[in-house]
Every structure is written in C-alpha cells, then in structure tokens.
A and B are shown apart, each in its own frame.
Chain A
Amino acid sequence: MLLSPRFLRSVLKTVATIAVTFIGLLFITFIIGRVMPIDPALSVVGDKASEEIYQAARKAMGLDQPLYVQFFYYISDVFRGDLGTSLLTARPVAEDIIRVFPATLELATIATIFGIIFGVPMGVVAAVNKGRWPDQVVRVLGLFGYSMPVFWLGLIGLLVFYGVLGWVGGPGRLDIFFEDVVPNITGVILIDSLIAGDFEIFGNALSHIILPAAVLGYYSIAYISRMTRSFMLEQLSQEYITTARVKGISEFQVIWRHALGNVMVPLITVIALSYAQLLEGSVLTETVFAWPGLGFYITAGLLSADMNAVLGGTLVVGGVFVGLNLLSDLLYRLVDPRAR
C-alpha cells in the first residue's frame, strides 16, 4: 500500500524535522544579522541624522526590544514573505529574489542535466572496468573536478571558448540587443523564448548558458560518477547479477538494465543533493559569468554591505537546500518499496 499509516507517520516526522531545521536557519541568519558591526538603524538614517531621528528609527525597526522579541518579529516577518528592503535596489528583497531566482534555476538545471548525462555512464563504465584504465580515467577526471576552483575554470573557459575560439556567447544570459525582447513569463529564457516561438533568441540563450552550465556541471559530473560507480560495484557483486548472466542475458542488458535499474533509486538522492550543491557553486560561477541569478545577487549585496539582501539570499538558499533534501527523501521512500 502506498500510503500506509507507517509511511505517513515517517513523512510527518521528516516534515517536523525540516520545520525545526528551518527555524534554526532563521536563528542563524538572525544571529549573523546581529553580529554585524554596522548598526542597521544608522545605515537607514545616515550618520548626519539627529539623535531623535536615530532613536525613532531604532524604535520603528524594533531594535529597542529585547533580542527574543526581535527574533519573534523576524520569524513572523519571514513567514509573511517580508525579508526587508534591499539598500542596493531599494525594492523588497523577496521581490528581488523572485526576479533573479529563475536564472539560477535555469543554470543549475542545465548543469545537473550535464551531470546526469555524463556522470551516470562514466560511473557505470568505471565500475564495470574496476581497476583498469577506464576506471582510472574516470577517477582522475573526478579528482580534477573536486580540485579545480570553479571560478577559475569558468575564467579559463571564457578565455578559450569565448575569447579565443568564439564558440559560445560571452557573459550574461543573452546578447545585449536580445535583452527584454521576449515577454517574461517563467523567467527562464530558454522556456520563454520557446513560448514566444523566437528560435533566434533561444539559440542565443543556449550559446550563453552552455559554458557556465558545463563549468558548474563538471562538479556534479565528478560527484555523480563517483557515487554511481560505488553503487554499481555494490550491485554487480549481488547474486541476481550472476543469475542473470547464467540465464544467458547479454552483458549489456545485465549492466545497463538490471544493475543500473537498481542503482537508480539511491541515485535520485545523489542527484538531488548535487542539485542543491550547485546552488553553492552558482555563487561563484554567476559572478564570473555576470549571470543575473541568486548568487550574483548575494555577492553584489555583499560588496555593497546590503545585509538584507545577503541574509535574504542566504536564507532562500538554505531553504531550497532543505527543501531539496526533503524532496529527495520523499522520492526515495516513494520509489523504494523497502523504505516505506
């Protein structure tokens, strides 16, 4: 049965854990906001303001209240979707994040697709050839992925593929004259341009996203191939594989259907985790490629001491991280009957 009481109870328990974690996230961002040496009231009224105006601003911002009251206000603000106002854009942070998030989503999704397309077959090939040269090649490629600074790889990629070869579009999501041409429906240009039926813009967007996504995806190729390899090794040593071979099923079928089929379940978790980790990589990648996403927004906020933007962005990244973990957990339970 799909929805047994036991399953529901375990789901409820997970959701409760997530709720506690999310309150924890809020607590950490709240504390970081308090550690900051810059006085939030002063940064609003400016240092030329009179004492009265300063005190009034402090009172208006609730800074005269005890810390636990302030934390309570902070939580209730966040749950009402109020992350404060950005000093840089003078707009509500929540609005800003809704505007920039699709760009990050687009980049991370294409990068994850790279990770799956290359990472899974590489892991399978490595496991089948354990200890021989294909295994070593995959291992070294993976170690390179773990060792390379993503921002540097991005710069080198720009230098070679944009500067020297001219194969891809440069920084940004589109060439400048294509910007704001297609109506913004989903915020994901690849989809919006298809909806508008404008294939020129679609191609241009593709030429811009391919390099940053490949750079970002390299990390998930490394991660997914390593995990696929170890899951596959575990499956290939099982008895049902021997049985399948004895039955005379072709080696191709044994590896790619029987063994890989059973690996797919734990792989879902791995892929969800790598998707979440791409959010982290995207902070640096977006900076290098001037990609107007969440990472770019956070770093721009950092450089202009826009604490509301930084903390709002950090909170959203943390929230998405938690959400993806929850999602992978639920998917795992749904797909794997043993976990129900």
Chain B
Amino acid sequence: MTADTLNPAKAGLRAWLTTDTPASRGHARMVQAYLGWLSLTRNPLALLGLAILVVLIAVSALAPWIAPHDPLAQELTNRLQPPGSPGHLFGTDELGRDILSRIIHGASITLYIVTLVAVTAPVVGLVIGTLAGYIGGWTDTVLMRLTDIFLAFPRLVLALAFVAALGPGIENAVLAIAITSWPPYARLARAETLTVRHQDYISAIRLQGASATRIIAGHVMPLCLSSVIVRVTLDMAGIILTAAGLGFLGLGAQPPIPEWGAMISSGRKFLLDQWWVATMPGLAIFIVSLGFNLLGDGLRDILDPRSGQ
C-alpha cells in the first residue's frame, strides 16, 4: 500500500488495469487478465500449483547446469547408494547413476510430452467440436458418434493398444495419448458452440457476409477457449500419469532416457531393499501432477465459475 502511494507510476498502472471503462479491446483483455491474476493470488493452493509448474519449467530449462552429475554416467562401484550418500542427495540406481540428476533431466521429458499432447489434442477436439456444433445435422451426428466411440475406451487401455501397434517410444506414446485425449475437448467445444450459435452477434456477422470458416475460427472458437484451457490444465495431470504409466510398462521412453515412469519400473526390482530407486521418481510425478491439479482447480474457479462448486 505504502509503495503505491510513494510510487505514482505504479498506482497509475493499477488504476489503468482495474478500470471499468477500458479504452480498447487490448486494454479490456489486460484488465480481465489482471483481475483473474488477483483472484488467483487469493487462492493459496492454486498459487502453490503455479509455483510447482514454474519450478518444473525452470528445472527442465536449466537441467544441464543444476544437475550435479551426468544423468547417464554409470559408476558401477557406487551402485544403489542410499539417499544422503556423499554427492548423491537422492542416492544412486542399479547402474550407479545419480537419481537426483536423472529426475532433473527427466523434468524436460515430462514437459516435452505434456506440451506436445497439450498443443495437439485440444486443437483437434476444438475443431471437431465447433464444426459439429456449428454445422449440426449429419455432420454433428457422425462426428459426435465418433467421439463417443473413442470415449467408450478407457484412455490408458486404448493408448496401450495404439503403442502396441506403433511400437514403443516417446513420440508414439505422445501420439497414442493425443489420439485418446481429444474427445472430451470435442464434447466441451460442441456444447459451448451450441450455446453461442444462435446469438445475435453471430447472426450479425453472418449477415455481413462472413463465411462459416471465418465465423467458427474467428468468433466461435475464441469463446470456447477459456473452458478448454481449464480442461487442458486439469487434464495435464492425467496426461502425465498416462505417460508415466506407459513408461512404467516399458512402452514410452526407452532406456537409458531418464523418464520418470521408466525409472520407477527399473527401481521396482529393488523395492524391498533399496526403496529409494522407485520412490524418488514417483514423488516427482506426484508433485508435478498435483501442481497441475491445484492450478487447474484454481483456474476453473476463475475462468469457469459455473462449474466451480
């Protein structure tokens, strides 16, 4: 407070960001974003989630500099050292590799998988959902029936079958997860489209001669975005868990890549005597997906108050 009174430029910025009468579309967006940020900061759990994600991104960007060891360097004389051994905070695995360094390097793999799925599946879902909702009729029936069929499989089992057919590997795992995660977005986008389709402003644009493509891409899709974004954030945790599950079954990232799920799988053999080998990467998965869940929960309250019970 005192800082604001001392610093007129900052007070002016705050007034500009909280105004009731924005001067332009950009200004209005800034105001909305700022108000959203304010209500996010009132939710400590959501902030915690955001912090976890910031740390995840920072760690994966800085991995080569902050990891104490080479994640692939084997040191067979130093196998299965417990946490807290000299130079190995989280201990070492069955090949004497430093577990902390492997977890740090694994962060970027997790981020890579999540990002790839997050930029493909929702886009596909958005296109299918808005097309179905806007065009209606047979298109709607066929597209939604297709969506239902994909929804009828449990996601992991379908992803397993796809990876089995395509062969193991990170890219195929991403493809399989993306193929199995677009349907909920399509459902969501269709529902949103149906509510805006007959609004006056859509008719107005149509009377001005806008094509269906233009209306869908320029006016319907942006309105579906906020609920899709919430859903994406909430789904991230599920994507991470599915990817880790595929890794655990040996169908995702292949050794020696330090993928967290695969690390748990290799630590499983020593579970009863060297518990840390499987426990540490599992904690990493748990914390990151908890972060996504906390943030998603908070975002839902802000962006989509209707479902925020």
Residue positions of A touching B, CB distance < 8 A: 17, 20-21, 24-25, 27-29, 32-33, 35-37, 143-144, 146-152, 155-156, 158-159, 163, 229-230, 233-234, 276-277, 279-280, 283-284, 287-288, 298-299, 301-303, 305, 307, 310-311, 313-314, 317-318, 321-322, 325
- The closest CB in chain B to the CB of A33 belongs to B165
Q: Is the CB of B244 within 8 A of A149?
A: yes
Contacting residues, chain B, for A24 (C-beta < 8 A): 145-146, 148-149, 152
Is the CB–CB distance between B149 and A25 below 8 Å?
Answer: yes
Greatest chain A CB density within 10 A among B157, B248, B279, B289 is at B157
Question: At the interface, yes or no: B112 with Cβ under 8 Å from chain A?
Answer: no
Most buried by B among A147, A279, A307: A147
**B293 — which chain A residues lie within 8 A by C-beta?**
143, 146-147
The yes or no answer to B264 lying at the interface (CB within 8 A) is: yes
**Are the CB atoms of A280 and B156 closer together than 8 Å?**
yes
Q: A143-B290, A302-B249 are in contact. Are A314 and B282 (CB under 8 A)?
A: no
A144 / chain B contacts, CB cutoff of 8 Å: 286, 290
Of B152, B248, B290, the residue contacting A147 (CB under 8 A) is B290
Q: Say if the beta carbon of B122 comes within 8 Å of chain A.
A: no
Tell me whether A149 and B248 are in contact in the complex, defined as CB-CB below 8 angstroms, given that A21-B152, A302-B160 are known contacts.
yes
Tell me the complex Cα distance, A318–B275, Å.
Answer: 36
- B residues with a Cβ closer than 8 A to A are 145-146, 148-150, 152-158, 160-167, 237-238, 241, 244-245, 248-251, 261, 264, 268, 271-272, 275, 278-279, 282, 285-286, 289-290, 292-294, 297, 309
* Complex partner residue of B161 from A155, A311, A325, CB under 8 angstroms: A311
| Closest chain A CB from B250 CB (angstroms) | 7
Residues of A within 8 A of B146 (CB): 24
Please name all residues of chain B whose beta carbon is closer than 8 Å to the beta carbon of A35 when the two chains form the complex. Answer: 162, 165-166
- In the bound complex, residues from chain A placing their C-beta under 8 Å from that of B250 are 303
A198 to chain B, nearest CB (A): 30
Given known contacts A17-B148, A287-B249, A325-B152, what 17 new A-B pairs fall within 8 Å (CB)? A25-B152, A25-B153, A28-B149, A149-B244, A149-B248, A149-B286, A150-B241, A155-B264, A156-B282, A159-B271, A159-B275, A229-B309, A280-B157, A284-B156, A299-B249, A302-B249, A305-B164
Could you give 6 example pairs across A and B, Cβ below 8 Å?
Answer: A24-B145, A149-B245, A152-B282, A152-B285, A284-B249, A302-B249
Complex Cα gap A146–B242 (Å): 12
Chain A residues with CB below 8 A from B155, complex form? 280
Contacts of B244 in A (CB 8 A): 149
Interchain CA distance A322-B151 in the complex, whole Å: 9
Nearest A residue (CB) for B309 = A230
Bound-state CA distance A25–B153 (Å) is 8
Flag if A20 contacts B165 (CB, 8 Å).
no
Complex-state Cα separation, A148 to B245, whole angstroms:
11
Number of A-B residue pairs at CB separation under 8 A:
149
Contact across chains for A156 and B279 when beta carbons are under 8 A apart: yes
User: Are the C-beta atoms of A321 and B241 separated by less than 8 Å?
Assistant: no
Residues of A within 8 A of B268 (CB): 155, 288
Q: How many angstroms between the C-alpha atoms of A298 and B167 in the bound complex? A: 15
- Smallest Cβ-Cβ distance to B248: which chain A residue: A151
The answer to whether A37 touches B282 (Cβ under 8 A) is no
Taking the nearest CB of chain A, how far is it from the CB of B272, in angstroms? 4
Chain A residue at smallest Cβ distance from B297: A143
> Distance in Å from the Cβ of B99 to the closest Cβ of chain A?
15
* Cβ contact within 8 Å between A149 and B285: yes
Given contacts A25-B149, A152-B286, A143 and B164 within 8 Å (CB-CB) = no
B83 to chain A, nearest CB (A): 15
Chain B residue with minimal CB distance to A313? B157
A21 with B167: CB separation less than 8 A: no
Q: Which of B249, B272, B292 contacts A163 (CB 8 A)?
A: B272
Interchain CA distance A279-B293 in the complex, whole Å? 23
Task: Find chain A residues with CB under 8 A from B285 CB.
Answer: 149, 152
A148 and chain B: residue at smallest CB distance: B286
Instruction: Compute how far the CA of A321 lies from the CA of B151 in the bound complex, rounded to whole angstroms.
Output: 10
CB-based contact B264/A149 at 8 Å: yes
Q: In the complex, how many angstroms separate the beta carbon of A312 from the nearest chain B beta carbon?
A: 10
Residues of A within 8 A of B279 (CB): 152, 155-156, 159
A116 to chain B, nearest CB (A): 20
Contacts of A17 in B (CB 8 A): 148
Q: Which residue of A has the minimal Cβ distance to B281? A: A152
What is the chain A residue whose CB lies nearest that of B264? A152
Minimum C-beta distance from B273 to chain A (A): 9
The 8 Å CB contact of A317, one of B153, B163, B164, B297, is B153
* Listed residue (A24, A163, A234) with the most chain B CB atoms within 10 angstroms of its CB: A24
* Docked complex Cα distance between A32 and B166 (Å): 9
Which residues of the other chain, A, contact B282 by a CB distance below 8 angstroms? Answer: 149, 152, 155-156
Q: Which residue of the partner chain B has the closest CB to A146?
A: B293
Enumerate chain A residues within 8 angstroms of B154, measured Cβ to Cβ.
276-277, 279-280, 317-318, 321
Q: Judging by beta carbons under 8 Å apart, are A314 and B286 in contact?
A: no
Q: How far is the CB of A86 from chain B (nearest CB, A)?
A: 14
Residues A307 and B153 in contact in the complex (CB < 8 Å), given A143-B293, A151-B248, A156-B282: no
Expressed in whole angstroms, the Cα–Cα distance for A279 and B157 within the complex equals: 9
B149 touches A21 (CB 8 A): yes
Whole-angstrom distance from the CB of B210 to the nearest CB of chain A? Answer: 35
Q: Assuming A277-B154, A284-B156, is B309 touching A233 (CB within 8 A)?
A: yes
Measured CB to CB, the closest approach of chain B to A134, in angstroms, equals 16
A322 and B155 alpha carbons, distance in the complex (Å): 13
Which 4 pairs of residues, A with B, have the shortest CB-CB distance? A24-B149, A280-B154, A152-B282, A147-B290
CA distance A305 to B161 in the complex (A): 11
In the bound complex, residues from chain A placing their C-beta under 8 Å from that of B237 are 146-147
CB of A192 to closest CB in B, whole Å: 27
Say yes or no: A314 contacts B158, CB within 8 Å: yes
Q: Which of B150, B152, B271, B309 contacts A155 (CB 8 A)?
A: B271
Least CB distance, A329 to chain B, in whole angstroms:
13
